[in-house]
Amino acid sequence: MSSTAKAKLPSSSGHFSITLVPLPTAPETQIRVLEDNIAWAKKEKRIFLKHSLETRLASIHLDLHHFRPALTLIEGLLTELKRLDDKLILTEVHLLESKVYRGVGNVTKAKAALTSARTSAASIYTPPPLQSALDIQSGILHAEEKDYKTAYSYFFEAFESQASAASFAPAPRKDAGEGADGAVPVGGEQIDTEGKGALEALKYMLLCKVMLNLPEDVHSLLSIKLALKYAQLRDVESMRAIARAHQDRNLADFEKALRDYKDELSSDPTIRSHLAALYDTLLEQNLLRIVEPYSVVELEYVSECVGQGRQAVEAKLSQMILDKVFHGVLDQGRGCLLVFDDTEADTTYATAIDTLQQVGKVVESLYAKTFKTIEDHFSNNPK
């Protein structure tokens, strides 16, 4: 670097950071080069270049699940950006902060960071890709709280924006990506010409339909004009297979879809976590369907019907009994499940307690009135 002219070096460093990003096999190289460029930018007081490179580095740490280094970078960036009042980069850094906190499981702080990002974005022109990223993160956080209707609306907004941009965006220029002072643009400003962002939003939309117990809507959703381009991709086929298995309430088909589309369904932590919850729900529904007709049923028979190991079935049935999904007892000595009919709650005790409480209130009221009468009598007749 010392032999490169200062006028050209910012552009070179920006070029390095962009060309290295698409190399998934060399994350350590990306981090090392970015750290070298950040050190140079800090030494030469190239503030905007330093902020852009640090934002890119935090994003790479997030992709690698290095949450602590990412948070350390983000905290320093936020301090400097708030002082400079650079709203655009501040918006993306807050968005990165929200993603990091969501990655560590702190949904409360993730929502607070996203609110800060939206507040910063409200006072400036937000590029459509960055707005779509904000919408997708909003949808993800609402989905974490089981509010799938609101999540679907955010994902739909992001999908429309990204799909339209992918349809009409020109091919990327080789010299694109450098800004004033050699600063590389933030991730949210780059145009998604391949439709990856639209595909991600579409998968989340399909996930919401399945989680809302509306798997039949998946086919109609994929028939809209913007979605036709993606309908035959493996990512979409994986969600279609999950929807079919859920509609048929077929646990074997659900497991087969998870195996056949392992890369498409397991690579995304959002889809993976929600499908795990859906699998648990589907297993519970299948167990209920099997045991409800019986008063006594062998655990081996239940295990064979659902295609699960006996130990896993016992654990799930125990959880369902404790959660009062149904009334029953596991007889491990006989290897059976005893299922009881639902009993109507006896309200006699509760009614008696309520009656006594009301009588107590009446007695207290009579006592207060009697005491006041006696007090008035003695005040009017002191002798």
Tell me: the pLDDT tens digits for 82-108? 888 788 899 999 999 999 999 998 999
| Token pair belonging to 37 | 């460029």
pLDDT band at 208 (very low <50, low <70, confident <90, very high): very high
The CATH classification of domain 1-122, taken from the options 3.40.50.2300, 1.25.40.10, 3.30.70.870, 3.30.540.10: 1.25.40.10
pTM reported for the whole predicted model: 0.72
| Consecutive H or E run containing 381 | none
Q: What is the reported pLDDT for 331?
A: 85
Write out the H or E segment, with its range, that includes residue 342: none
Q: In this predicted structure, what is the pLDDT of residue 285?
A: 85
For residue 185, pLDDT beyond 70: no
pLDDT for residue 372: 81
Token pair 């350390």: residue: 72
Partner residues linked to 285 by β-bridges: none
Mean pLDDT over the full length of the chain: 82
Hey, what's the torsion of the CAs at 295, 298, 304, 307, to 10 degrees?
70
Cα(246)–Cα(156) distance, integer angstroms: 22
Residue type, 334: R
The pLDDT > 90 percentage for the chain reads 28
Residue-wise pLDDT for 68-87, tens only, equals: 999 999 999 998 888 887 88
State residue 177's pLDDT score. 42
* Angstrom distances, CA of residue 144 to CA of 14, 22, 106, 191, 194: 36, 29, 11, 28, 28
- 282: CB partners within 8 A, 6+ apart: 245, 246, 249, 251, 254
**Which whole number is the average pLDDT over 228-249?**
90
pLDDT of residue 238: 92
CATH class of 292-340: mainly alpha
C-alpha to C-alpha distance for 20 and 382, rounded to whole angstroms? 100
| In the chain, where the domains are located | 1-122, 150-167+193-291, 292-340
Which residues lie below 8 Å from residue 197, measured CB to CB, with a gap of 6+? 129, 132, 133, 136, 158, 162, 166
